[in-house]
Amino acid sequence: MERIDHYAEYRAKLRTPEEAVKVIKSGDWVDYMTNVTMPVLLDKALAKRRDELTDVKIRGNLIFGPIEAVECDPKREHFIYNSWHCSSYERKLCDRGLCNFIPMVFHNVVPYYRHFLTVNVAMMCVTPMDRHGYFNLSSGTGVAKGILEKADIVILEVNENLPWIYGGFDECIHISDVDYVVEGPHDPLPGFPYTEPTSEDMAIAELIIPYIKDGATIQLGIGSMPNAVGSLIARSDIKDLGMHTELLSDAYLELHRAGKLTNRKKKLHRDKGVAGITIGSQDLYGWVDRNPGVVAMPLEYVNAPEVIGQHDDMISISSGISVDLFGQVCAESAGLRHISGTGGQLDFLVGASMSKGGKAFICMSSTFKDRGGRRHSRIVPYFMGDIVTDPRSQAYHVVTEYGCVNLVGRTTWERSEMLISIAHPDFREDLIREAELMKIWRPSNKKP
């Protein structure tokens, strides 16, 4: 049998970053993918072409930065950057007027590309090619394959530091489907900074723990709240947990090390922890590298509510920014200031509600302080410019350090009473007065 020489095809497609980005033209749509799969060498090469190009539109999400094509063009005359979900770096770009948000729910992102969007050039970092001619899409598996398939031109940047993450499907791309490959030295993968839980985070986590049964499957977001929940579960008597999550973070590694994360009770993908995107520490990247117990799959599948709902006792734990007395949840803006994005919060809220024994929790501290040091309530009468992430029709458990309430099936007057009961005591009387004006406070309601 004739042996196919994949390495010969690889060598024929090998270019310098500067040579590869010559295919990009003014007016093109270019995709940078997500997190640590951002093509840093290609980005630097593209930035050098600034004065040759205009109106090059770039998409990405959860990118740590810096993005040279953005930083080199503060007037946005050449490059227009857009994000599906903002990291802290991209949030700062939004504050500077250098990034625009693309509204979405994560399980629909690839279908958006497939049916409606143009991709002239897709560029991303991948693992080195294996002997069969495949590159692993690593921590970008959640969205990458569908975007690469839609692109007119595919350029891969080999990053020797990326973990090879096994998958169910669409976790690899073959050299035959690639137009150009670039190589070059890369810095170690940036570690996502660990956010220490606050006392409020720990109080909220303690309220959630009683709802989690042995054998439950859990979804944890990223940040101090999931870290707090993961830490408490690791020290609890809960056992045989499963993982089905959009974002795999260090909280799961802590659960694994504590012997709590076994995946053996899952009805779907038993013995496998399922994720779409992986972001965390060097230890986390080492854990997922060629680990048969962890698989990456497209978010089109991972985040599909009908898939999430197939897990019994599905527990979804996400963070919110604010909630109004109708039960609408904002998790992506502070007033008109953009913070993050919808992500998969609504996907998992709906999916958990479809699960036998499933529960979804939106967690937030009862108050926050603005830059001037003034304290504000996160529970507000109604929104004034805040983006609604979860509609009131999909409201479930809302948790602050003062309690946990379940809004499912509740009337407007019941919701106002329940939400005010978990607001900070200093704001409850004002909220009651507002609820009365809004005609959602019953005279016989119990005053918290």
- Distance separating alpha carbons of residues 28 and 83, to the nearest angstrom: 16
Q: Dihedral, CA atoms, 359, 267, 280, 335, nearest 10 degrees?
A: -30
10 Å Cβ neighbour count for 171?
23
Residue 275 tokens, joined: 């994720």
- Distance separating alpha carbons of residues 204 and 219, to the nearest angstrom: 16
Residue 135 tokens, joined: 């590159």
Beta bridge partner(s), residue 156:
124, 181
Structure letter (DSSP) for residue 261: B
Q: Are the beta carbons of 394 and 346 closer than 8 angstroms? A: yes
Residue 334 tokens, joined: 């502070």
Residues 6+ apart with CB under 8 A from 417: 441, 442, 445, 446, 448
Question: Could you list the active site residues?
Answer: 246
- Distance separating alpha carbons of residues 149 and 284, to the nearest angstrom: 29
The runs of H, that is alpha helices, within 48-177 are 68-71, 88-95, 109-116, 144-150
Q: How many helices (H) and strands (E) does the chain have?
A: 16, 25
| Strand spans (E) along 279-382 | 294-296, 314-319, 322-324, 329-330, 333-334, 337-338, 359-363, 367-369, 375-377, 379-380
372-404: b or e for each residue (b if 16 or more CB lie within 10 Å)? eeeeebbbbbebeebbbbbebebbbbbbbbbbb
Residue 16 tokens, joined: 């310098």
Amino acid type, 355: S
Q: Dihedral, CA atoms, 84, 90, 95, 97, nearest 10 degrees?
A: -70
The CA-atom distances, in angstroms, between 404 and each of 209, 366, 377, 398 are 11, 12, 16, 6
In the block, which residue shows the tokens 């054998």? 215
The runs of H, that is alpha helices, within 172-246 are 199-208, 224-234
Contacts within 8 Å (CB) and 24+ apart, 270-273: 273/242, 273/243, 273/244, 273/248
